[in-house]
C-alpha cells in the first residue's frame, strides 16, 4: 500500500482504472502519511480530510460503475494556499490575509474536482508569492528534499515538498517569475509553467496579474500533461511517439549560463550530453533582447505587485517579513510613465525573441544557477538573501518576461533542473519534447 505514496499520479490513475487501487484506501494512505509526518505543519497549511474522503468515495463509486471522469479520477493532490477553496482558509502565506475564507473554489480547483481529483488540502508558500526561495518566517518554511538545512524554493514551496516527501501524488502551484520551476528543480520534480492566459486565474490570489500563471508540480512529464488537462478541463496532450531524433534545441548563452555554481553546471552538461545522445541537435544562441528584458524586471514586477497590494501592506506593514516588505515597496520607486514605457519595450523584446526561437523545438538553460541556499543564513544575512533570491529567479524569469511556456526536468544531479522553454501556447510541442528528454535523462551517464 505504501508504495502508492511513491507512484506517479498517472500510475495511480491506471491502478484505479483497472481495479487494483481503491480511491478511498489511497486517500486514507495519503492522509495517514500527512498526519504522521514530522514536517506536516511545515508543508500543509490546512488538511481537508472530510472533503478528500467524500471525493474519494464518489471516485470509487464511479470506478466500480466504469464511468470515470478522467485518467486522474480518484487521485489525491495538494493545492498551493493561494487557490480559493470554499469554506477553507486561503491566506497566500501572509498574515495580511489571516482567516480569509472564500465562498467558492477557484476555477481550476472546480475544474479538477469536476474531473474527479481528490483535494488533500492547502500547502504553505512564500509570503504573497513574492520570493523564489520558499523562506517564510511569518507562517512556515517547508523542507527541501535534498538538504534539511536549505530552503525548498518558492513560492510554491509546500507544493513541491508535498510531492517530494510522498504526501501528495501531484501538486498545483503558480508561477509569476519561477515559482513552479524553482521548487520543482530543487526537489527533483517536473514543473510546468504555462503560457500566461492559458489556464484560468479566476479565484487565485494575485501577485502580478500580467505574469501570474497556474501550473503543476509532479513526478513525471506524463503527470504534468494530465494535470494540465484537468486544470483546463480539456483533453490531455498525446505524448505517444515523442522522440528527440532530429529535434533542434537552442542553448541560451546570454545571461543564462553566467555565474553557474558547480552543481547546476554539472547537471546542465549532463543533460545536454544525454539529449545529444538521443539524437537532438544543440546550437548555442545569443539573444540581446533577453538582457534588455531582464533589465526591465524591477519596474515591471515590483510596480505591479505593489500596486496590487499597497493598501493592505501599508495598513499593517508590521505583519510582513521585512525582506518581502522591502521588495514590495521597491515598486513605489518607479513612475507610471516608466511602467508603461517598460511594457512597450518588453513587447518589442518578445517579438524579437519569438522570431529568434521559431526554428527550434525548445530553448535549453539551467533552471537555476544556484543550489538551495541555507535557511538560517538567509535569516541572518540580508546581502546573502538578496543575492540568492535574485539569482534563484534569474533564469526562470526569462520565460515569464518572454511569455514562454516552460518545463523544468530533473537532471540526475540533486536539486539541479534542466529548463526547456517553448513558444507561447506551445505546451503540446514542449511537453512532447520534455517526455522524450525525460527518457533520455533516465539513461545511465
Catalogue the active-site residues. 80, 155, 179
Cα(274)–Cα(280) distance, integer angstroms: 9
Cα(430)–Cα(208) distance, integer angstroms: 25
Residue 122 burial by Cβ neighbours in a 10 Å radius (0-12, 13-18, 19+): buried
Quick one: three-class SS letters along 45-95? EEECHHHHHHHHHHHHHHHHHCCCCCCCCCCEEEEECCECECCECCCCCCH
Write out the DSSP string of 156-167. Answer: SHHHHHHHHTTS
Cα(315)–Cα(285) distance, integer angstroms: 47
Cα(351)–Cα(424) distance, integer angstroms: 11
154 φ, ψ to 5°?
Answer: -140, 175
Cα(399)–Cα(239) distance, integer angstroms: 23
Cα(171)–Cα(217) distance, integer angstroms: 5
Cα(87)–Cα(61) distance, integer angstroms: 25
Grid coordinates belonging to 395: 533564469
Task: Compute the Cα dihedral for 223, 437, 412, 216 and give only its sign.
Answer: negative
The order of strands in the sheet holding 281-285 is 44-47, 118-123, 76-80, 171-175, 213-218, 190-193, 405-410, 417-422, 362-366, 248-252, 281-285
Nearest to 300 by CA among 256, 346, 254, 255: 346
Q: What letter would DSSP give residue 127?
A: G
The kind and range of the H/E element at 351 are helix 336-357
Grid coordinates belonging to 140: 512556515
Cα(123)–Cα(79) distance, integer angstroms: 6
Write out the DSSP string of 405-420. Answer: EEEEEE-SSTT-EEEE
Cα(25)–Cα(15) distance, integer angstroms: 12
Amino acid at each position: 500500500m505504501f508504495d502508492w505514496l511513491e507512484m506517479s499520479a498517472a500510475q495511480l490513475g491506471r491502478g484505479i482504472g483497472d481495479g487494483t487501487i481503491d480511491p478511498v484506501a489511497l486517500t486514507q494512505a495519503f492522509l495517514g502519511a500527512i498526519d504522521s509526518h514530522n514536517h506536516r505543519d511545515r508543508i500543509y497549511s490546512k488538511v481537508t480530510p472530510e472533503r478528500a474522503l467524500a471525493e474519494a468515495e464518489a471516485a470509487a463509486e464511479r470506478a466500480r460503475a466504469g464511468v470515470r471522469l478522467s485518467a486522474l479520477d480518484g487521485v489525491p493532490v495538494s493545492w498551493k494556499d493561494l487557490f480559493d477553496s470554499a469554506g477553507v482558509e486561503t491566506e497566500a502565506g501572509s498574515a495580511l490575509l489571516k482567516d480569509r475564507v472564500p465562498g467558492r473554489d477557484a476555477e481550476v480547483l472546480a475544474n479538477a474536482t469536476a474531473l474527479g481529483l481528490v483535494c488533500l488540502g492547502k500547502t504553505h508558500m512564500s509570503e504573497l508569492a513574492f520570493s523564489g526561495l520558499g523562506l517564510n518566517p511569518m507562517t512556515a518554511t517547508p523542507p527541501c528534499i535534498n538538504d534539511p538545512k536549505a530552503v525548498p524554493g518558492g513560492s510554491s514551496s509546500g507544493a513541491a515538498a508535498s510531492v517530494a516527501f510522498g504526501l501528495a501524488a501531484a501538486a498545483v502551484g503558480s508561477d509569476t517569475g519561477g515559482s513552479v520551476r524553482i521548487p520543482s528543480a530543487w526537489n527533483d520534480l517536473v514543473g510546468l509553467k504555462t503560457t500566461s492566459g492559458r489556464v484560468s486565474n479566476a479565484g487565485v490570489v494575485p501577485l502580478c496579474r500580467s505574469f501570474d500563471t497556474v501550473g503543476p508540480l509532479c513526478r513525471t512529464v506524463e503527470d504534468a500533461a494530465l494535470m494540465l488537462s484537468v486544470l483546463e478541463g480539456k483533453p490531455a496532450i498525446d505524448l505517444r511517439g515523442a522522440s528527440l531524433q532530429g529535434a533542434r534545441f537552442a542553448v541560451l548563452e546570454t545571461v543564462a549560463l553566467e555565474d553557474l555554481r558547480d552543481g547546476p553546471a554539472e547537471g546542465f552538461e549532463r543533460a545536454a550530453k544525454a539529449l545529444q545522445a538521443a539524437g537532438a541537435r544543440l546550437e548555442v544562441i545569443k539573444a540581446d533582447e533577453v538582457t534588455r528584458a531582464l533589465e526591465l524586471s524591477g519596474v515591471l514586477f515590483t510596480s505591479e505587485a505593489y500596486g496590487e497590494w499597497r493598501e493592505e501592506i501599508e495598513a499593517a506593514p508590521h505583519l510582513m517579513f521585512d525582506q518581502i516588505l522591502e521588495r514590495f515597496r521597491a515598486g513605489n520607486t518607479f513612475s507610471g510613465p516608466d511602467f508603461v514605457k517598460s511594457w512597450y519595450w518588453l513587447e518589442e523584446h518578445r517579438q524579437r525573441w519569438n522570431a529568434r526561437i521559431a526554428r527550434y523545438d525548445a530553448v535549453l538553460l539551467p533552471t537555476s544557477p544556484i543550489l538551495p541556499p541555507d535557511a538560517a543564513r538567509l535569516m541572518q544575512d540580508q546581502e546573502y538573501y538578496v543575492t540568492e533570491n535574485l539569482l534563484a529567479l534569474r533564469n526562470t524569469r526569462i520565460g515569464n518576461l518572454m511569455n514562454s511556456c516552460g518545463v523544468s526536468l530533473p537532471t540526475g544531479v540533486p536539486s539541479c533542473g534542466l529548463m526547456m522553454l517553448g513558444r507561447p501556447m506551445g505546451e503540446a510541442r514542449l511537453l512532447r519534447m520534455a517526455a522524450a528528454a525525460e527518457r533520455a535523462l533516465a539513461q545511465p551517464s
